[in-house]
Structure 1
């Protein structure tokens, strides 16, 4: 008769080893609850009668098995939740195609009609706030005084015209916001807008392909327009 002692460690160790090995093979090879119980019963049947299994050890082993099994189920549930989250995020991102979004970059794309939205983050105590607009060649084509700017994020619309009221050609334009804080000239953070052409999944992250700007993480969106 085989002498098998230390049941509380042997059965659980075997379960963990076979479960780990099965993770790289088909799910049908995994040691489940039924197989574990069969192994446990076999060990109890063949244990040394002079040194039998203690009740406390037996209970502890069952508790450890339940804990390991619970962690496996939790991991499966989390993976399922992540998959559902990504699917929901992809659906949400696809609804942005064709819409204007304000993102964390200083470049905006003027389509030739309508308005271009921008956002300026104005600090406390700022005065003489001005939004300057330059074309792709770096030439200044327009300036918009932000006389009503308040501390925080300030939305502003540009109609695509220069300082003389002439409509500018379609293309990418760069925004720059400046002002005075504590009697010193400062440059403020600007968020430009453009149309979303498509959405891609890169490295598990949703990326928006923004006209005239390129790929922008979905997390960088500050505002969405119809």
Structure 2
């Protein structure tokens, strides 16, 4: 009496004995190329002459195995490519150490009462702009009214104080900016942060840049990189207001 193997191929009694004799001590959960060819040869050798395997059946089995082999090769190639890309990303991230970067983010640091700069911008006129600053528990410690802004990029430097004018402890704080467009709909504004990179961290294949003040930014979110040892170029048209904002 025959049986059907894990690939759905019917095996006669002789093939069953052959498969059993060639079976390793440890049970296989998948059919590799050698095993497939061994079973196929056994089928062709021991098939009933009066009831040979149909050509279409053999072709179907070969096509299935060919597709499986190709998929296995593709998966192996993708895995190797992912490993290579991860190594390349790490090497790229390491080159950022010692550089000043600007990246998407919502964390600002307070050090000796001095806060890091917050950058934000709009593609259209936005009104009733409010900036909320959050502590580590998510509670709002300060709300700053920024009024209305035309399309452009701006920056703001927080004074490190709460709503009552008390100086807050050093640490990291979250920032959220919300405004309204000309149609009265709420607009959530993307913020950017800056700082000097002092380390690179790989977490589950994702590269993060650690800034000198302890904040982290995703390598993919970096918008600008500046070499602090290079001469800086100042835009003569750039102006700053009393609140630390600058129009671009």
* TM-score, length basis structure 1: 0.61
> Compared with structure 1, are the counterparts of its residues 5 and 110 closer, same or farther at alpha carbon in structure 2 (3 Å cutoff)?
closer
Displacement of 1:48: 1.7
Say whether the 8 Å CA contact 1:5–1:48 is kept in structure 2.
Answer: no
Aligned residues: CA RMSD: 5.0
Displacement of 1:125: 1.9
User: 2:69 matched to 1:89?
Assistant: no
Once the two structures are superposed, residues 91-136 of structure 1 have per-residue CA deviations (whole angstroms, 9 ceiling, x without a partner) of 111111111113312415789xxxx7652123522369899x9xxx
> Compared with structure 1, are the counterparts of its residues 39 and 207 closer, same or farther at alpha carbon in structure 2 (3 Å cutoff)?
same
Structure 1 match to 2:49: 49
Once the two structures are superposed, residues 25-78 of structure 1 have per-residue CA deviations (whole angstroms, 9 ceiling, x without a partner) of xxxxx7324x43232111111112221111111111111111111111011011
Structure 2 match to 1:220: 221
Once the two structures are superposed, residues 193-214 of structure 1 have per-residue CA deviations (whole angstroms, 9 ceiling, x without a partner) of 1111100111221121112242
Separation of aligned partners in 2, 1:173 and 1:8: 60
> Compared with structure 1, are the counterparts of its residues 224 and 130 closer, same or farther at alpha carbon in structure 2 (3 Å cutoff)?
farther
SS of the counterpart of 1:56?
helix
SS of the counterpart of 1:97?
coil
Structure 1 match to 2:136: none
Structure 2 match to 1:63: 63
Say whether the 8 Å CA contact 1:123–1:151 is kept in structure 2.
Answer: yes
Name whichever of 205-214 and 62-71 sits farther off.
Answer: 205-214
> Compared with structure 1, are the counterparts of its residues 39 and 180 closer, same or farther at alpha carbon in structure 2 (3 Å cutoff)?
closer
Say whether the 8 Å CA contact 2:93–2:207 is kept in structure 1.
Answer: yes
Higher helix share: 1
Say whether the 8 Å CA contact 2:104–2:191 is kept in structure 1.
Answer: no
SS of the counterpart of 1:53?
coil
Structure 2 match to 1:195: 196
1:166-185 maps to which residues of 2 (within 5 A)? none
What is the total number of aligned residue pairs between the two structures? Answer: 198
Separation of aligned partners in 2, 1:5 and 1:130: 69
Q: Which runs of 5+ in 2 are unaligned?
A: 12-18, 134-140, 160-169, 228-248
> Compared with structure 1, are the counterparts of its residues 53 and 190 closer, same or farther at alpha carbon in structure 2 (3 Å cutoff)?
closer
Structure 1 match to 2:28: 21
Structure 2 match to 1:77: 77
SS of the counterpart of 1:21?
coil
SS of the counterpart of 1:38?
helix
> Compared with structure 1, are the counterparts of its residues 122 and 53 closer, same or farther at alpha carbon in structure 2 (3 Å cutoff)?
same
